[in-house]
Amino acid sequence: MSIWFTEELHPYYRKSLHVRRILADEQTEFQHLQVIETEYFGNALVLDGIIQLTEQDNMGYHEMIVHVPMLAVGAPRRVLIVGGGDGGSLRQVLRYPQVEQVVVCELDRRVVDLSRQYFPNFGDPWADPRATLLVRDAFGYLEENPGQFDVIISDTTDPIGMAERLFSDEFYRLMVRALAPGGAAATQCEQPYFDTALIKSIYQSACALSKNPAYYYAQIPTYPGGGIGFMYVSDTPWTNGLKTPYPPGGNEYLNPEVHRAAFALPEFFRKELYG
């Protein structure tokens, strides 16, 4: 019998992946967590029925959310990842030899445990002595650490349930407050076709908090609409990153042409966002 995993985020749009088998399926304290083995995209992490990553196309998400702010800062030493319990963003941050500490603030420990088990291609970045895992809510941690981080990466789920707070004015204010002078942040910031109003609201918040905010975009086939966007928030221009060499280890998605092109927006969306 053919089994398909179907994700329906909107009443007018759904997508499906062919499933070979279910590797894990449990209700944690916070969410319904599944790992499924799919026909083409390999293992996929699913939270509350929404795909978070797959082995095949996660590089577009993780390389873009991490390297754009990291390269803009140039030589970041302290990095905070909000969410990111799968370890994909952590893996990319640790490619920078100048990084001294990476704090990952993840609410659900089971995301970390199952990702370590089922996504071995990430190479277990948790074993790196520079990595610190804090199993707690990010809001309190941000409040306790003003001006501490050169880069903050908000690697979160969609704005549903508890995660809605991570797309609020309050969160962005705390995040910017936690940046060191010259620091930069990048956040998961949804999809231009389906989430235009939310992105516009977040961009307005980012404009009030920083001098050089910008929205950028990556292609990830297993996300709604085939891609995902990010909000860059900093007083430091993102274009600084075009002058910084990539860290050791090869990229699978990002190159200088993609880096620059990611900030070029379709006209309908550019008008909505920038006016």
CATH of 3-54, one of 3.30.1490.390, 2.30.140.10, 2.170.120.20, 3.40.50.300: 2.30.140.10
Kindly list the domain boundaries of the chain, sorted by start residue. 3-54, 58-274
Clarify whether 128 is annotated catalytic. Answer: no
Per-residue model confidence as pLDDT tens for the chain (275 residues): 689 999 987 888 999 999 999 999 999 999 999 999 999 999 999 999 999 999 999 999 999 999 999 999 999 999 999 999 999 999 999 999 999 999 999 999 999 999 999 999 999 999 999 999 999 999 999 999 999 999 999 999 877 776 788 889 999 999 999 999 999 999 999 999 999 999 999 999 999 999 999 999 999 999 999 999 999 999 999 999 999 999 999 999 999 999 999 999 999 999 999 87
* Angle, vertex CA 16, rays to CA 106 and CA 253, nearest 5: 60
* Tokens describing residue 248: 């050791």
Domain spanning 58-274 has what CATH number? 3.40.50.150
- DSSP category for residue 144: H
User: How would DSSP label each residue in 47-107?
Assistant: ETTEEEEETTTHHHHHHHHHHHHHHHHSS--EEEEEE-TTSHHHHHHTT-TT--EEEEEES
249, 212 contact by CB (below 8 A):
no
Catalytic choice (57, 150, 155, 158): 155
206, 213 contact by CB (below 8 A):
yes
Residues in CB range of 180: below 8 A, 6 or more apart: 78, 147, 148, 149, 150
**Domain pair 3-54 / 58-274, same fold:** no
pTM value surpassing 0.95: yes
